[in-house]
Each structure stands twice: as C-alpha cells, then as structure tokens.
Amino acid sequence: MTQEGELYTVEDEEAKSLRCYACAHRCLIKEGRRGICQVRFNKDGKLLVPYGYVAGLQVDPVEKKPFFHVLPGTNALSFGMLGCDFRCDFCQNWVSSQALRDEFAGHPPRAISAEELVALGRRNGSASVASTYNEPLITTEWAVEIFKLARETGMRTLYVSNGNATPEVLDYLAPWLDGYKIDLKAMSDANYRRIIGGVLQHVLDTIVRAHELGMWVEVVTLVIPGMNDSNEELWDMARFIRSVSPDIPWHVTAFHPDYKMTDRGRTPVETLLRAAEIGIEAGLNFVYAGNLPGQTRNWEDTRCPSCQSTLIKRRGFYVSANRLSSDGVCPECGRKIPGIWS
C-alpha cells in the first residue's frame, strides 16, 4: 500500500540515498532504510510513501478536530493512516501513530481509493474531509490526491497536525488545504526534544508560515499538569500566537493519563480556566477550553470580541445555537468574525 512520493530529493545517486522533506526531521534515508516516521522508506533509490488505505475512518463533528471557526455544526469525514514523526509519551492515538515503532501499536489497514473516500464523505453529508488520527504530514502525497477530488465536490479540506512541517511541504499543501490545526505542545524546547521527539522552533515556524500562506489556522495546547501548565509557559504560548495574529483561535484542552504518561492526574478545570483567561489577557480574540463539556463556563462558546455577544453556543462537540451569518458577521455590531463559515 505504497506509491513513490514527491516530497524528497536524491542526495547520492550512486549510493541511492534520499532526503525526505515531508516533515522537519528532513531524514537522510539510505537504500533499504526508513525515516523516523517508519512509514516512508527507500527502496532501490526511490522514496515509497503510504497510499491507498485507511487505518481509521469516521464521520466526526468538525468541532472534535477541533475546528471552531470552520463550518460549525457540520461533519468532517475523518481518515487516518499509520505512523508519526513524533513519539509523545502522552499520545492519545498511539495505536495508530506509533505503528512500526511500538510493538503493541498498529492494526490492519483497510484498502480504499481516494474516489471511494470522497464519495463516502458525500453520501454521509460531510462538509469537509480531514486527515487526522496519525500525523498527516508524513502521508501528504495521498492526502493531496484526496483533497483535489474533495475540492471538486465543494468539500473543505483539513489537517489535524503536530506542526512539524517544512516550508516545502507547506507550499505543496497550500493550494489544496483550507484549514490547519496545529498542536503547540509546549514552549520548552527541552520538553519537545525529550518527551515529544521534535524541535519547538519548527512548530513555531509552521504556525507563522501556514498563516502567511492563507490557511485557516487554529492552535491547540493539551495542558498537562507538571509539564506545560505554569503561568509563565502559558503566557509564552499566548503571546507567541498573538504575535502571529490575535484572530488565531487557541484551544486549551484537558489531559488524561494515556500511553506512557500515567504518572499524573487529569487536568483540573481550574487550570483550563486560568489558561483561557491568560489567552484573553495576552490579547487573543478567541480562546476555547475543551475536553470538559459543560464545566468551563462559557469558554466553549464563540463570542464577538467587540460587543461580547455570544455568537455560537457549544457543549462539547455539539453546537446548540449559531447566530453568525454565512459571511461570518456579528448580528449585533456588524464585526466580521474570521473563519470559514460557508
């Protein structure tokens, strides 16, 4: 279930070594070897990449991704493959993401064509298609094939990603990707390297670059007790997002013990409320507290930054009221609310 990829260069023709640039690791892959993700590999001097299957396939509320400023109240056909370029100790999709890296991860994939996948989304009334569950950057070539077909039917296209991208892969995606959800897991490079397996600056650069390319960006931080929940670190995150754009939504979500991080409890609701308040004080216009439905006051709702009217009311992944017009204008004061509303 592979095809030759496009996101690579030949480093040494005689040695058949390749440089992959689907993610910021930029792996040098020798003949017969795999990249850090384990699913992009060099066979006879060609980079083979995942193609023609799903390991996860489901119709989800778009709010579950989470996208709160993309077609609220609609469904997204969500598909995932296998593998990841990170190795987060707290991964909540580790069975898919850590395939070929962890002997207990992975499950049989299901063969499907891009045409079948898009047709399935249309039959189920999905307004968008999302590459999610594992890291989509490492399966970008097939995602773009799907997105091209989805765009022809009027569906929006979404990535749910760790943000460990390169400028080259973002340029490759830009013509076909509408919305990009990026995880900002910490503001400590030491934690990125030790617990996550990446470099903080690469993720920060992705947030900036994706915004500059015109993708609709939403940022998510899983707030983990004892790792990234200090006031100082939350302020650093909020200030950075504000420096890119005050209109980027910031989702602060609750951790629960999972995978290899079972040494601490769930995130208290008080911590999420504190993080949300820091986001607003730092100058962000849209901050959301998630994973604790009905417990975070009105931090699940979209409010107008100008007049504070409640425009979209939510509980968990479900929208109970939406007062925005199709062009995203507040009915009370006329302010344009940024997002993808139609």
Residue-range domains of the chain with CATH: 2-50 (no CATH), 53-286 (3.20.20.70)
Q: Is 127:155 a contact under the CB 8 Å cutoff?
A: yes
pLDDT above 90: residue 100: no
The 10s digit of each residue's pLDDT in 138-171 is: 999 999 999 999 999 999 999 999 999 999 999 9
CB count in 10 Å sphere of residue 133: 22
Peptide bond into 66 cis (omega under 30): yes
Pull the structure tokens for residue 74: 């609609």
Residue 313 has pLDDT above 90, yes or no: yes
Q: Give me the mean pLDDT over the 263-277 stretch.
A: 97
Give burial (CB, 10 Å; 0-12/13-18/19+) of 111: exposed
pTM of whole model > 0.85? Answer: yes
- Amino acid 292: pLDDT: 95
Q: Residue 209 contacts by C-beta under 8 Å, 6 or more apart in sequence?
A: 165, 167, 170
Question: How far is 260 from 15, CA to CA, in rounded Å?
Answer: 38
Cα dihedral 274→279→281→283 (10° resolution): 180
Averaged confidence pLDDT in the chain:
97
